[in-house]
Amino acid sequence: MTDQDLYARFDLLRGAEDQKNELITEILRQLDKLTNDYQQMTLDYQREAQYNRDTQLRQLLIDGDGMVFGDQMIQKGELGGKEAANKLWNAIRDNVHQTMPSLTPEYKIVTRIYANLKGLATTLYYAGIVEKPTVVEEFARGFTGSKQLFDFVDVGSGKDRADDKIIEVFKLHLYNCHCRHIFFGCSHDNGYARLLEDLADQPGTGRITLMEGVPFERELSVLKSKYETTQFQNLFRTDKIKIYQQPGYGLQTTLPHQTHPSYSMPPPALPSPQQQPTTQSGSGLRYHVPPEPPSSNNKPNATPSPVLSNATSGSSNAPPALLKPATWASTTAAAAPLPALASPPPTPSPAIIPRNKYGQRVDPPSTYNKTESHRIRALKLCNLHYLRGDCPYDPCHHDHYYKISKSELATLQYVARMVPCQWGTECDDPKCIYGHRCPANYEGTECRFGAECNFPAEMHGVDGTVVRTTRVGKK
């Protein structure tokens, strides 16, 4: 073997050694990178784990149109709102400690109550629970201001506004890793049954507790066995609000759902009777507060006395007259034979509903006669009997026996349309007797009521040109 052969073999070995060193160096470099990445991920994990422990949420979602706090707290206004918030916070804390003792005590309670605040205030006022509607607004303000994560949200009037918001927020938090439990206050409304039914067979129902105020409605009572349930004593009403007093003008009571039972209610799209207790549903209703509420002298006592008022008579400021207590003489007089019932002129229900190019319902124009309108109001005729032909109230405290003429019937229709329809311009009830646009604001005219008008902004300036019709089934 020559010297050249030896040098060649040495060069090969030296090249292999260099490659080995480069490989080892690259491996060490990769190890350093992986070690640094691992340490950073460990820090991130520890930081995230600590954050998750520190930001555990217990979410309360309450439909305030049906889950109504106790009368005594609401009557205290702002102080009552703070009291209700503190009691609710303590009730949730105690429930968590009793039912979930293994969970860390470091959690936050987030509460959202959604309601048509103006509608709720009007309902409680005419039920004799509060002296004036503003007390309920003060209560909501006190509730919201008591704790940083407590909010009483006014969704305004409109069909299913509270329901839609609650359902979306519910879905948002259901799979939120920070939200460990949801307390759901919805026992009064079958409208939530579909949501709960879809989730009943999925994992995670143990993270949902249904709160009971008024007894669970039929569809919800079927589902409640699949969820945890709780009832906080002396916090929410357990019975429906009974309405003994109605405003003299502008209160319409209809249902947004087939049932909305936190208030007992007549059939959908019908006004409530003036003497029988009725109930109001919250989110879908439109309520109207008279400019000046009746004085405290006319307010019902702790046990409300029925009052007599006419939904279409008198001015909106007129306080309702209290009924006299029942006596034997009045009882026997009431049992006396009544005159023959006056049959209203035939008013067949239209098979179609006129609509403008925007799809809004169009009421036919009518002429306003102030003197005649006041005279018709003073007659205290039953709108349902004369305009719909199907008054459901027995006894009804409005006149069914007056022989009404066609011109008087037209005036009565105008008076009834001074009350805005709860369904607004989307109403598809061919027998609806209420207004779908402000009668004082037809095209080209300014509404004479201005900001005090009972009709919302979207029911002003409605185009009265009919371009199509909607056919509906017989009601």
More confident residue, 471 or 8: 8
Q: What tens digit of pLDDT does each residue of 351-399 get? A: 578 888 888 888 887 777 888 888 998 898 998 889 888 887 777 888 8
Q: What tens digit of pLDDT does each residue of 31-63 get? A: 999 999 998 898 888 777 666 665 677 888 899
363: left (phi over 0), alpha (psi -120 to 50) or beta: beta
Instruction: Give ∠ CA 173-174-175 in degrees, rounded to 5.
Output: 95
Distance in angstroms (rounded) separating the CA atoms of residues 70 and 234: 7
Cβ 213 vs Cβ 229: under 8 Å: no
Place 15 in a pLDDT band, splitting at 50, 70 and 90: confident
Residue range 296-308: mean pLDDT, rounded: 37
pLDDT at 76: 93
pLDDT at 53: 61
Distance in angstroms (rounded) separating the CA atoms of residues 238 and 298: 27
pLDDT at 87: 93
Strands 468-471 and 352-355: antiparallel
Cβ 178 vs Cβ 204: under 8 Å: no
380: left (phi over 0), alpha (psi -120 to 50) or beta: left
Sign, CA torsion 22/27/30/31? negative
- Report DSSP letters for 184-236, one per residue: EE-TT-GGGHHHHHHHTTSTTGGGEEEE-SSPPPHHHHHHGGGSEEE--TTTB
Cβ 252 vs Cβ 421: under 8 Å: yes
191 Cβ contact list (under 8 Å, min separation 6): 160, 163, 256, 257, 260
pTM of this prediction?
A: 0.48
The number of CA neighbours under 13 Å toward the Cβ of 194 is 5
pLDDT at 282: 38
Residue with tokens 């709108």: 383
Distance in angstroms (rounded) separating the CA atoms of residues 173 and 343: 56
Using CB atoms within 10 A of its CB, is residue 13 exposed (0-12), middle (13-18) or buried (19+)? exposed
More confident residue, 183 or 458: 183
Distance in angstroms (rounded) separating the CA atoms of residues 114 and 154: 6
Q: What tens digit of pLDDT does each residue of 214-236 get? A: 999 888 888 888 888 899 988 99
Residue range 469-475: mean pLDDT, rounded: 60
**Rg for the chain, CA atoms, rounded:** 33
Angle between helix 117-126 and helix 134-146 axes, rounded to 10 deg: 130
Q: What tens digit of pLDDT does each residue of 92-129 get? A: 888 888 877 766 666 788 999 999 998 899 888 888 89
Distance in angstroms (rounded) separating the CA atoms of residues 329 and 335: 10
